[in-house]
């Protein structure tokens, strides 16, 4: 029977383990995601004792390989890409006994029939029928694979009382606009229930992203300040220090607004802005996230012109490395107007956040790689210190650093020692490494564990996806075919175009740039 998740438990709990025997079938077993992320994550779960007592991993791909050759490839991937590249031979041998390769074409019905035979040969009903299908393939193939799994009697719509379960894990992008996302979702739920579809945004698997909820709702000090009367504005920054590289063809179709803003940044926003859920049950948490997203004030062409900035990098230097301009990248139009940077101001029209601007930005070829949330508190009345002249009083701010150097920083004013009343902004620093040690599980470890355990908390629900696309589509419609202006270009290695600085300057604010790793 499908595991019933205790309403009081969720992916935020410690000590989780996937208990029921199951088989994970990875479609796209020859791809980068499998060798770089999925198999290393499963191996670390195995080493940490979090895999079921009985499990199998079946790689499904078109290339001609054997179980032994695929296992060797996966071992080499762990040694190259894993967070712990030193592989204990005994541990690996025990793990590798559970890895199998199945050759087949995604469009060939016979390949799915033979997959079913392979699963039955494991000689365990649970291994043959408790199945996680991980679609590490092009989204255009999701619907076809789900159809063929159903036709081969490997995927069933789960009903209460069923002795076995199947789940389908899909990677982003979930469509390229609202209509395509709606159609894709309709394909996915044709032969499975929504609860069986697990849409991955790897950002939600990051320990520090999960900690946003814990920080907010378990600390009365900050929860009482988490509203419009105490907070002046919020900034969310996700910066990348790389260009598009070999992904020029994909990026010409997607752009930063679709590639990053629609998923990663809006997901972080929903966790920062959501109301307290009635419990930690997956649906209660996801309900509140959707409410937050649906409360975002819709964008009109006029508000897009005033509240949204796009940008594109030209040649420059990042950390001493010379970078070419976007239009000089491979498979990029030399007159392209695709954005490699996006910044926007939005409002959440509910009781908690009315009138508080949220500034979101993301871009490529910026000075460093970092993700953080900065909460800027309102200033105190200046009357008390007015007679002291021009004191260096700074507004309080709280920064949640999601990566790298994960931590939480509180900025406040302190008196400089001496005989005069002189002040200086100071910072309290909580670092994950210093407090808990250097170990932080990879996002895919947590996400795969939750997929096996049947907890959907860290996965994105259908209405979350479609609500985010509705917001982003309005922005893209507002841009239309308008070409980039001179103020929307930025040199690689800088923090973005001048127009992005203007976006905050018109409100009397400035961007607070993440600081380099120490």
Residue-level length of the chain: 518
Look at strands 197-200 and 166-171 and give their pairing: parallel
- Give 453: exposed, middle or buried? Use CB within 10 Å, 0-12, 13-18, 19+: buried
Q: Angle 399-405-409 (CA atoms, 0-180°, nearest 5)?
A: 25
End-to-end CA distance of the chain: 49
Long-range pairs of 62-65 with CB within 8 A, sequence gap ≥ 24: 62/30, 62/103, 62/104, 62/105, 62/106, 63/30, 63/103, 64/103, 65/30, 65/101, 65/103
CB distance 168 to 188 below 8 Å: yes
Q: With beta carbons less than 8 A apart as the criterion, state whether 143 and 99 touch.
A: no
Cβ-contact 28, 480 below 8 angstroms: no
Catalytic residue among 264, 429, 509, 512: 264
User: Where are the alpha helices (H) located in 257-294, listed in sequence order?
Assistant: 266-273, 282-294
Q: Measure the CA–CA gap between 403 and 122, rounded to whole angstroms.
A: 41
- In sequence order, the 6+-apart residues with CB closer than 8 A to the CB of 8 are 279, 280, 281
428 by Cβ neighbours in 10 Å (0-12 / 13-18 / 19+) ranks as exposed
Long-range residue pairs from 115-121, CB within 8 A, at least 24 positions apart, any chain: 115/25, 115/58, 115/60, 115/152, 115/154, 116/152, 116/153, 116/154, 118/58, 119/23, 119/56, 119/58, 119/154
Containing 214, the helix (H) or strand (E) segment is: helix 207-217
463-466 — which CB contacts under 8 Å span 24+ positions?
463/290, 464/267, 464/270, 464/286, 464/289, 464/290, 464/293, 465/174, 465/175, 465/181, 465/185, 465/199, 466/178, 466/181, 466/182, 466/185
Judge if the upstream peptide bond of residue 360 is cis by omega within 30 degrees of 0: no
The question of whether 102 is a catalytic residue gets the answer: no
| Long-range contacts of 423-428, Cβ-Cβ distance < 8 Å, separation of 24 or more | 423/391, 423/392, 423/393, 424/392, 425/392, 425/394
Give yes or no for a contact between 300 and 478, defined as CB atoms under 8 angstroms apart. yes
Give the Cα separation of 113 and 438 in Å (integer).
45
Could you tell me the strand order of the sheet in which 55-61 lies? 99-103, 55-61, 22-27, 131-135, 166-171, 197-200
Q: Would you name the residues annotated as active-site residues?
A: 264
């Amino acid at each position: 029977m499908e595991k019933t998740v205790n309403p009081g438990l969720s992916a935020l709990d410690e000590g989780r383990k996937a208990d029921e025997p199951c088989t994970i079938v990875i479609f796209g077993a020859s791809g980068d995601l499998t060798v770089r992320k999925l198999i290393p994550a499963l191996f670390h779960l195995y080493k940490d004792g979090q895999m079921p007592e009985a499990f199998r991993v079946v790689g499904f791909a078109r290339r001609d390989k054997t179980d032994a050759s695929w296992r060797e490839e996966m071992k080499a991937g762990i040694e190259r890409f894993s967070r712990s590249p030193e592989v204990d031979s005994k541990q690996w041998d025990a793990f590798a006994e559970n890895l199998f390769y199945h050759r087949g074409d995604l469009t060939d019905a016979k390949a799915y029939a033979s997959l079913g035979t392979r699963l039955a040969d494991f000689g365990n009903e649970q291994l043959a029928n408790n199945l996680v299908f991980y679609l590490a393939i092009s989204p255009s193939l999701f619907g076809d694979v789900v159809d063929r799994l159903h036709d081969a009697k490997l995927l069933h719509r789960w009903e209460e009382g069923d002795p076995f379960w199947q789940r389908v894990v899909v990677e982003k992008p979930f469509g390229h606009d609202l209509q395509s996302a709606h159609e894709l979702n309709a394909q996915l739920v044709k032969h499975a229930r929504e609860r069986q579809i697990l849409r991955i945004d790897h950002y939600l698997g990051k320990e520090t992203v999960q900690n946003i909820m814990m920080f907010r709702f378990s600390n009365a000090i900050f929860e009482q300040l988490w509203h419009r009367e105490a907070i002046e504005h919020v900034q969310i920054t996700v910066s990348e220090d790389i260009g598009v590289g070999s992904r020029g063809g994909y990026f010409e179709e997607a752009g930063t607004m679709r590639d990053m803003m629609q998923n990663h940044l809006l997901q972080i926003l929903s966790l920062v802005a959501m109301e307290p859920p009635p419990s930690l049950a997956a649906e209660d948490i996801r309900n509140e996230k959707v409410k937050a997203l649906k409360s975002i004030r819709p964008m009109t062409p006029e508000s897009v012109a005033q509240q949204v900035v796009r940008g594109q990098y030209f040649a420059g230097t990042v950390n001493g490395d010379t970078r070419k301009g976007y239009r000089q990248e491979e498979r990029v139009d030399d007159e392209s107007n695709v954005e490699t940077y996006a910044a926007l101001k939005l409002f959440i029209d509910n009781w908690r956040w009315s009138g508080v601007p949220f500034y979101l930005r993301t871009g490529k070829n910026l000075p460093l790689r970092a993700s953080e949330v900065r909460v800027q508190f309102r200033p105190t009345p200046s009357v008390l210190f007015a007679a002291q002249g021009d004191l260096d009083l700074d507004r309080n701010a709280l920064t949640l650093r999601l990566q790298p150097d994960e931590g939480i920083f509180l900025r406040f004013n302190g008196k400089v020692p001496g005989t005069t009343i002189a002040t200086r902004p100071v910072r309290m620093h909580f670092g994950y490494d210093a407090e808990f040690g250097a170990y932080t599980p990879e996002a895919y470890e947590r996400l795969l564990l939750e997929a096996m355990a049947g907890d959907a908390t860290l996965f994105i629900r259908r209405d979350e996806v479609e609500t985010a696309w509705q917001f982003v589509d309005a922005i893209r419609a507002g841009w239309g075919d308008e070409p980039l202006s001179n103020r929307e270009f930025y040199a690689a290695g800088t923090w973005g175009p001048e127009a992005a600085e203007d976006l905050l300057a018109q409100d009397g604010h400035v961007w607070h740039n993440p600081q380099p790793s120490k």
